[in-house]
Amino acid sequence: LKGHPAEKAGIREGDRVVSVDGKAVRPGDVGALRHILLSHAPGDVLTLVLERGTERVNLSVALGKYPSSGERAGRNRLPPEP
């Protein structure tokens, strides 16, 4: 997550999103999480409940602009092998 907007929001690798603004997110249901996030506009502030190990963490997160498909494709590329 280094440099990713999620890192700036306080989300750590291994955190599991439990709910967004009171809407439950089933474990591993990335599509539902994406749907909830895309139903909001950039700048909206959402309350996330995360599971971090054995603890529950509440975060208020301001949404940024959703990257274009080209920007997303560039982020998902692996660095070249040495």
Residue spans of the chain under pLDDT 50? 71-72, 74-82
Q: How high is the pLDDT of residue 70?
A: 53
Go through 39-74 and write b for each residue having 16 or more CB atoms within 10 A of its CB, e for each that does not. Answer: eeeeeeebebbbeeeeeeeeeebebeeeeeeeeeee
3-state SS, residue 48: strand
Q: How high is the pLDDT of residue 64?
A: 83
CA angle 74, 76, 79 (to 5 degrees): 85
CA distance 4 to 24: 24
